[in-house]
Amino acid sequence: MNTVQIQDLVAEVEAVMHGIPEEDRIITDQRYDAEQTGLNLLESVLTNSKRWRVNGTGVTMDHPAGVQLDVDVMGSMLMAVQEDEQHLVMSVDGQPICVAGEGIFYDVPMSDHLTTVVLLGEAGFPISHTPDTLYMLHSPADLLANMSNEFCSLQERISAAKLLVPYVNEEEGEGSISTQSFNLAETGNLPPQVELELVYSELYPRFMPLHEASGNTMVNKFVDLVLRLTRHRPEKPSHALHRFIDVHVQRMRHKDQERVRDLLLALCETSRPELHALFETADGIYQNGWDFDRFHEMHQEIIHVPPHLRMEHLGIPADAYENVHDVDDIMMF
């Protein structure tokens, strides 16, 4: 990359930062100093870059996937200094993309996030380190291949499934990508952690339509799906599986919630004691629904009290003042 252009870019960003009055800075002085130090690192990384080029007050690259990725360095730095905002100002083919820097709760400088993005771009945005919102940087074919490749690490396969979910969302679960991904999941050869990323997308076509039918068939299908997703039998089910139970059971009718709870309890008491945590999740949803229904019935009883009875309850009793003197005598005693 052109060294002079990089130096001019960093110098311009620093000049604008120095021109911000201290009272307009949201970040601490230590963080402000760290931002300037990080800009020096960003400059050195950009100097050795072979994929990025300076474009006004930002940098851009033409990704092999056929899209143009733009990072607004100036905009990102100003948002960080003036708003303490950790989202990078980025776009793909001119469309804004939401990308937050990792470690946003640890006061990481924005300049470090920018450096990370540049380095990821140099590496071609590896699947295991690509933010979900940049899924378009990887083709569905590559994601499907990585997801099913037994020689890839578990993290790579999980990341591929996460990046594949937005494609499934675009198709609303009915396109060719969706069909391939869910057919692959139904083979039972995927690690449960990978399969969960697809199932939790709430577009699982083999299950979701059954919510409308409800009843024993739907409940049995749902519990069978839970058993398949827990076939690795961990000591503690993953948080993703708890979220999956929570999302789907809440959509069921109260009677179906009870059936799910009873089936999970029966499994816990017979062959699958490790599912007890999932039973507690389902039971909690059922109990909350039961409490809601009970209070709703009480409310309906109250608001449907006939008007003449309401007045009787709320009006002053006819003999309210009849024994007022007796009360006064008692008070004096």
> pLDDT for 206-215, tens place per residue?
555 455 567 8
Q: How far apart are CA 204 and CA 200, in angstroms?
A: 8
Q: At which of 116, 133, 150 does a domain end? A: 133
In a domain, 315, yes or no: no
pLDDT at 115: 92
For residue 215, the model assigns a pLDDT of 83
Q: What are the two backbone dihedrals, phi and then psi, of residue 60, each rounded to the nearest 5 degrees?
A: -145, 155
279 within domain boundaries: yes
Is 296 found in the same domain as 178?
yes
Q: Are residues 65 and 173 in the same domain?
A: no
**Count of domains observed in the chain:** 2
Read off the pLDDT of residues 63-120 as tens digits, 9 standing for 90 and up.
988 899 999 999 999 988 888 888 899 999 999 988 876 654 457 889 999 999 999 9
**Which of 21-35, 170-184, 318-332: highest mean pLDDT?**
21-35
Q: What is the pLDDT of residues 126-148, one digit of tens each?
A: 999 998 889 999 999 999 999 88
Which residue is listed with tokens 């009915």? 174
271 within a domain of the structure (yes/no): yes
Say if residue 86 is exposed, middle or buried (CB neighbours under 10 Å; 0-12, 13-18, 19+). buried
76 and 10 in one domain? yes
Domain match, 129 and 147 both: no
Q: What is the pLDDT of residues 209-240, one digit of tens each?
A: 455 567 888 888 888 878 877 776 667 766 76
The answer to whether residues 169 and 25 belong to one domain is no
Pair (296, 168) in one structural domain: yes
List the structure tokens of 319. Answer: 């003999």
**253-307 tens-digit pLDDT:** 888 899 999 999 999 998 888 889 889 999 988 888 655 555 555 555 555 555 5
Q: What is the pLDDT of residue 30?
A: 87
Same domain (yes/no): 146, 31 = no
160 and 235, same structural domain?
Answer: yes
Which residue range is the domain that position 224 belongs to?
140-300
d(CA 10, CA 103): 24
Q: What pLDDT was estimated at residue 182?
A: 76
Contacts (Cβ under 8 Å, ≥6 apart) of 111: 34, 35, 36, 37, 38, 39, 41, 42, 77
Residues 11 and 79 in one domain: yes
Quote the radius of gyration of the chain (alpha carbons, Å): 30
